[in-house]
Amino acid sequence: MLAEVHYWRDMSRVLEAVTEELRQPFVEVVVQILQALSEEEHMKALAEDVALFLKEKARIVKGLKEAKWNNKYMRIIEKPVKTIEQAKELKEIVLNIGALMNSLQNIFLNSNFYKENRILSFLDRLLICV
């Protein structure tokens, strides 16, 4: 379960770095030049490559948004998840499970990304851990 917390933290960092690179002014200039060139008749294949690049750029920006939000939510539940995973006694689990469940409910209700399938998967892993 803690691996998911770390996954979204790392994904957010990686996509942030990639997005920063994609937003550099020289990238925009190169894309504009390639788009202008692709309007020529013998450069139609270039237009497909530019369109594919822009599609992937949009996908990365969208992924960054999701990763940032999920990282925010995972930071909220990191402490109780860590405590439950490392618990040696049932009392430690009991003291943290209620707060974790409340946090997961709030995440489910407020998140645009962490919806039914992801929450169920997380709860399945939580039950196995407990």
Q: Please give the average per-residue pLDDT across 31-59, as a whole number.
A: 89
Span 25-31, average pLDDT: 94
- Please write the tens of the pLDDT for every residue from 90-108: 999 999 999 999 999 999 9
Could you read off the pLDDT of 59-97 as tens digits, one per residue? Answer: 999 999 999 999 999 999 999 999 999 999 999 999 999
Residue ranges of alpha helices (H) inside 23-43 are: 25-38
- Dihedral angle over CA of 44, 47, 52, 55, nearest 10: -150
Count other C-beta atoms under 10 Å from residue 31's C-beta. 15
| CA pair distance 102, 105, nearest whole angstrom | 5
What single letter denotes the amino acid at residue 87?
Answer: A
Q: CA 12, 8, 77, 98 torsion: positive or negative?
A: positive
Residue 25 pLDDT exceeds 90? yes
Q: How far apart are alpha carbons 62 and 72 in whole angstroms?
A: 16
What does the radius of gyration of the chain's CA atoms come to, in whole angstroms?
A: 21
